Structure 1
Amino acid sequence: MRTEKTIAIIPARGGSKGIPRKNIADLNGKPLIAYTIEQALEAGTIDEVLVNSEDTEIREIAKKFGAETMSRPEELSNDNSMQEVDKLLYWTLNELKKQGREYHIGVLLYPTSPLRKTATIDRAVKMIREELYDSVLSLYEDKTYLWHIDSRQAYPVNYIPEKRGPRQKETWNQYAENKAVYAFRTELLLETGCRLGGKIGYVLMDKLQSIDVDSPDDLALVRNIMKNRES
């Protein structure tokens, strides 16, 4: 029997720089956000699915696809940085608490990761419930050569140019955050103001599942991937 109540929170701003009205942009006949709502509803570990938005149209669409909605203040709707989203999570959990609704585990799902799998969400939550992690994030393997630049020069970050080659990459244990799934104990976020902390676990995803829709090119790529899967 499930003992730790879990809520999925989907933040969805009305504004977007790269794609106008990105979170409800058409993706093969459905709004982008619908894919994340459906994944959360299908996850066996999720008790409730909440879309948080200042935008009336987004909230109406979210309800149509089966999510509960909450209107957030304008001051929490201007930025998607990690710190600002953590503030939104903190505010949301406290608002729910005022209603007598408390949760042991929160799951942050950005609507811009439509290719994530429901099994990945379930795995992240189970790591907290069964393996005693405090927070879990999704990653993908990244063997990119990274450079830091200033106004005059470029500096290697994660490798030595003289030793550049396939063998060096084989020794790397380097992974990148893909923003697809974050699971966390709510007490951790409410105490620290951050979704990641304590004993941090991870779930691995492949690069295609990790696509974060941020530009028209990203959206076109995901459309093609979905069409190829259907054919």
Structure 2
Amino acid sequence: MMLILCIFIGLASPVFCDKTAVLILARGGSKGVRLKNIRNVGGISLLGRSILTAKLAGFHDITVSTDHPLIALEGLKYNTTVFKRSYVTSTDWAPSIWGVAEFIEKRQDIDILILLQATSPFINFKYLRSAHAKLNFPIPFDCVFSVTRSYKLRWSYSNSGTHSLNFDYKKRPRRQDWNGEFIESGAFYISRRGVIVKGTLQNNNCTVWELSQAESLEIDTEYDLHLANILIINKLV
């Protein structure tokens, strides 16, 4: 019935008709910055910023998965659903996919999941919405994830010496002469259910959404928090 309705109103892409939910993983055991998910950037908590971004992008099925009562209260403050995260998926050694799988197992109605990173405070809601739409344009993809472009020249070092990894050291490229590399920013991952149930957020049928360096800032330290507030004060984001 939903698919028929979508066709009737002229939505060419079934991605708009699929059940999409937003998940924000926000455990309470962060070590670099204690309870960093509820620390403020520009007067708004990191968690609050991510919830507001999702809402502005047009998504209303938003869940905060947490093991900490203060984070849960912050999620409720923004009128979103709180999912009680298990001890195992909240540990330092648990990968994000465990938290995602734990949630999606309880939500059999979800076709597409947007994993939104609370510690990426400068995600543009318009880009999040466009990245979601890109899941089916220009061709169907299984996943979309955020990246930023890097022009760093990378080396490896071992007992056998140094080795250039992404360039020929005899012909060092100038910045303007190459397209650089895409680095995962971690800001968001948009994946179809079929990818997640296989234990991952990505596969070989993914596309990317490029963010600027400022937009890709990730909060891991007090320095990052300080930098984020400076960017806001100086209106650089």
Say whether the fold is shared (TM-score over 0.5): yes
Equivalence for 2:208? 202
Given the alignment of the two structures, is residue 216 of structure 1 paired with residue 222 of structure 2, yes or no?
Answer: yes
Distance in 2 (alpha carbons) for counterparts of 1:151 and 1:219 = 37
Distance in 1 between the 2:135 and 2:227 partners? Answer: 33
Q: CA deviation at 1:161?
A: 1.6
Q: Distance in 1 between matches of 2:202 and 2:103?
A: 17
Match of 1:73 in 2: 86
Aligned to 2:13: none
Q: CA contact under 8 A between 1:124 and 1:136: conserved in structure 2?
A: yes
Shift of 1:16: 1.3
Partner of 1:162: 170
The Cα of 1:147 is off from its aligned counterpart by 1.3
Q: Normalising to structure 2: TM-score of the pair?
A: 0.87
How many residue pairs get aligned? The number is: 221
* Gap runs ≥5 in structure 1: none
SS in 2 for 1:20: coil
Which whole-Å deviations, capped at 9, do the CAs of 1:170-196 have from their partners, x for residues lacking one? 224411110012101012211x11010
Alignment of 1:1-231 (within 5 A): 1=6, 2-44=16-58, 46-79=59-92, 84-97=95-108, 102-130=109-137, 131-150=139-158, 153-166=161-174, 170-190=177-197, 192-229=198-235
Provide the rounded CA distance (Å) in 2 between the counterparts of 1:80 and 1:223: 29
What displacement does 1:162 show? 1.8
User: How far is the alpha carbon of 1:150 from its aligned partner?
Assistant: 2.8
**1:154: how far off?**
2.8
Q: Answer whether contact 1:146 1:157 (CA < 8 A) is retained.
A: yes
Partner of 2:12: none
Q: Supply the distance in 2 between the matched residues of 1:125 and 1:17 (Cα, whole angstroms).
A: 32
Q: Secondary structure at the match of 2:214?
A: coil
Q: Is contact 2:53–2:124 with CA below 8 Å preserved after alignment?
A: yes
From the superposition, tell whether residues 110 and 66 of structure 1 become closer, same or farther in structure 2 (CA, over 3 Å). Answer: same
4+ long deviations beyond 4 Å:
none
Q: Return the offset for 1:36.
A: 0.6
Q: TM-score, normalised by structure 1?
A: 0.89
Q: Tell me the distance in 1 between the aligned counterparts of 2:179 and 2:235.
A: 31
- Indicate the percent of aligned positions where both proteins have the same amino acid: 23
8 A contact 1:37–1:66 mirrored in 2: no
SS at 2:209 equivalent: strand
Range 23-32 or range 146-155, more displaced: 146-155
Structure 1 residue 26: deviation in Å?
2.2
How far residue 66 of structure 1 moved from its aligned partner, in angstroms, is: 2.3
The amino acid of 2:134's aligned partner reads M
Three-state SS of the structure 2 residue aligned to 1:229 is coil
Kept in 2, the 8 Å contact 1:4–1:129? The answer is no
CA apart distance, 1:107 = 0.3
SS of corresponding position for 1:120? helix
Residues 99-151 of structure 1 show CA distances to partners (whole Å, capped at 9, x for unaligned) of xxx11110001111001100121112111245411100111111101111235
RMSD: 1.8
User: Structure 1 residues 172 and 3, CA, compared in 2 at 3 Å: closer, same or farther?
Assistant: closer
Q: Which runs of 5+ in 2 are unaligned?
A: 1-5, 7-15
